[in-house]
Amino acid sequence: MTNTPFTPGIVPARLGAQDLAENFSDLHPPLDGHEALVAADRCYFCHDAPCITACPTAIDIPLFIRQIATGTTASAAQTIFEQNILGGMCARVCPTETLCEEACVRETAEGKPVLIGQLQRFATDSLMAADGHPFERAAPSGKRVAVVGAGPAGLACAHRLALHGHDVEVFDARPKAGGLNEYGIASYKSTNGFAAAEVSWLLKIGGITLSTDKALGRDITLEGLRGEFDAVFLGIGLTGVNALRAEGEARDGVADAVEFIADLRQADDLGALPVGRNVVVIGGGMTAIDAAVQSKLLGAENVTLVYRRDRDAMPASRYEQDLATSRGVRFIFNAMPLEVLGNGAATALRCEYTKAEGRSLSGTGETFDLPADQILKAIGQTLEGAPEAVRLEGGKIAVTGAGRTSADNVWAGGDCASGGEDLTVTAVAEGRDAAEDIHATLIGGA
């Protein structure tokens, strides 16, 4: 090995293959049978359970846990998939600490919720490992629906439509389906090519055609789709990134965190991925955390995350923050970037401390310089390429009800649509609900 964490600049192979493999292994190794039974035993089978309410897809959590406890894991998985066809991915990536597990009454009682996410993985993994697909399509309806975007929203929508007997064509601009499941989620949350495996499993329902490398606005148009299909669902996510608006943003070494992560997710050999010695990540959401943690796991010596507000205002949960600090990421709160310093390539980031008055922020005048050869921007994604026919609202496609846009027969859901948190599980819920609404509309109008 030629490089180490101390090698200057942005270089590959700071760590050996074995360290990398260990660093990027499963964040939570799967529960074994005994662990699952012990964990399941703790569920109280609450009435009108708060965890169900807290789950955007409203999975019947007490029921599936009881099904695990009584040795019928396949039934447990069925209970999950009926509500959330991407229950396998959600079990891995949901911030359960702010969703179901936060609502668990045992969190109130003992500060230790039932391990809902891990139990969900136990159930879904076991059914997905078995052959076949647990759902059967209804009789063909003769209706055709176009789904644009093969992320969680589009996939959930396509599956539910196919289930109801409609024929679905899914278009995606990228070469692979899965959306951010494939290109965004942290590697240690979705190991062993799970995202791709999940897509193939989902497609086993039948009736879904996948057309990759087909971008709306480039290869296809909304008008064309509306002419050819009975309905259109837009699940195009947020593919644009916000600008830093700091001086020197164009210097070498400054990159988008999402792109950095996408490269990482697609890398066959993590050792070939270059990473800085001094990495600074700007932002406070999941993307910032994931970029920071994964830089550290790739072998960066120093990783600092700079967030302009205080800890409580940070969108990433306390659990995510603690995960980052446990991996050696340093947090600087109440600071904003002013200027990328360096001669050609970045060498440092000049920041200024901030003070907040309500929602408005201003600099205090006090500045400091952080050594930085790599600067990753994670300050939010924006909607890009939304068709003109649909009305926007707050930078997203305006929707009412179950994802109805301002254009007839066009629905939208997931990150690109207004309302709801930008989470995988929310995208699934919105895709599914839009599919139900499309189904009702198509059948009602038949």
Ligand X SMILES: Cc1cc2nc3c(=O)[nH]c(=O)nc-3n(C[C@H](O)[C@H](O)[C@H](O)COP(=O)(O)OP(=O)(O)OC[C@H]3O[C@@H](n4cnc5c(N)ncnc54)[C@H](O)[C@@H]3O)c2cc1C
Can you tell me the distance from the alpha carbon of 36 to that of 392, in angstroms, rounded to the nearest whole number?
45
Pairing of strands 345-357, 360-371: antiparallel
Report residue 173 CA to chain centroid gap: 18
CB 334 → ligand X: shortest distance, Å? 23
Of the candidates 47, 50, 42, the one whose C-alpha atom is nearest the C-alpha of residue 101 is 50
Give the number of other Cβ atoms within 10 Å of residue 211's Cβ. Answer: 14
Binding marks (x or -) toward ligand X, 405..444, rule CB under 6 A?
A: ---------xxx-----xxxx-x-----------------
Query: According to CB under 8 A, which one of 24, 26, 27, 63 is a site residue for other proteins?
Result: 63
Distances, alpha carbon 363 to alpha carbons 244, 367, 376, 430, in Å = 16, 9, 21, 39
Site for other proteins contains 67 (CB under 8 A): yes
End-to-end CA distance of the chain: 66
Which partner from the list other proteins, ligand X, none does 207 bind, CB cut-off 5 to 8 Å by kind?
none
Closest CB to ligand X among 221 and 441? 221
C-alpha–C-alpha distance, residues 252 and 248, integer Å: 9
Site string for ligand X, 331-370 (x = CB under 6 A): ----------------------------------------
Nearer of residues 51 and 348 to ligand X, judged by Cβ: 51
Task: Give φ, ψ of 14 to 5 degrees.
Answer: -75, -25
Residue 119 to residue 101: CA distance in whole angstroms = 12
Nearer to other proteins, 69 or 100 (CB): 69
Residues 387-426 that bind other proteins (CB under 8 A): none
Tell me whether residue 248 or residue 414 sits nearer to ligand X (CB atom).
414
Task: Name which position in 5, 165, 240, 385 contacts ligand X (CB under 6 A).
Answer: 385
Q: Which of 62, 151, 248, 276 binds ligand X (CB under 6 A)?
A: 151
Residue 72 site contact among other proteins, ligand X, none (CB < 5 to 8 Å, cut-off depends on kind): other proteins
User: Applying CB under 6 A, does 315 fall inside the site for ligand X?
Assistant: no
145: β partners? 168, 231
Q: In angstroms, give the least distance from the CB of 44 to other proteins.
A: 9
CA distance 68 to 121: 11
Q: Residue 258 touches which of other proteins, ligand X, none (CB < 5 to 8 A by kind)?
A: ligand X
Regarding 88 and contact with ligand X (CB under 6 A), the answer is no
Tokens standing for 134?
Answer: 């647990």
Count of residues touching ligand X (by CB under 6 A): 40
* Separation of alpha carbons 217 and 430, rounded Å: 23
Residue 126 near other proteins by CB under 8 A: no
Binding track, positions 75-104, relative to other proteins; x by CB under 8 A: x--xx-------------------------
Token pair recorded at residue 411: 């629905």
Nearer Cβ to ligand X (40/412): 412
CA–CA distances in Å: residue 285 to residues 275, 292, 393: 21, 11, 22
Given the complex with ligand X, which of 119 and 286 has the nearer CB atom? 286
Which partner in other proteins, ligand X, none is near 290 (CB below 5 to 8 A by kind)? Answer: ligand X
Q: Which of 25, 70, 325, 382: binder of other proteins (CB under 8 A)?
A: 70
Q: Which does 12 bind (CB under 5 to 8 A by kind): other proteins, ligand X, none?
A: none
Query: Cα separation of 229 and 243, whole Å?
Result: 37
Query: 102 with 318: CB under 8 angstroms?
Result: no
With beta carbons less than 8 A apart as the criterion, state whether 231 and 222 touch.
no
286: CB partners within 8 A, 6+ apart: 95, 315, 316, 320
- Helices 194-203 and 152-163 meet at what angle, rounded to 10? 20
Q: Choose the one of ligand X, other proteins, none that binds residue 66, judging by a C-beta under 5 to 8 angstroms depending on kind.
A: other proteins
Query: Strand 381-382 vs strand 240-241: parallel, antiparallel, or unpaired?
Result: antiparallel
Decide if residue 369 touches other proteins (CB under 8 A). Answer: no
Contact partner, 174, from other proteins, ligand X, none, Cβ < 5-8 Å per class? ligand X
Task: In whole angstroms, give the CA distance from residue 71 to residue 198.
Answer: 24
Residues lying near ligand X in the complex (CB under 6 A) are found at 93-95, 148-154, 171-174, 179-180, 184-185, 189, 215-217, 235-237, 239, 258, 261, 286-287, 290, 385, 414-416, 422-425, 427
Residues lying near other proteins in the complex (CB under 8 A) are found at 33-34, 37, 41-42, 45, 47, 60, 62-63, 66-67, 69-72, 74-75, 78-79
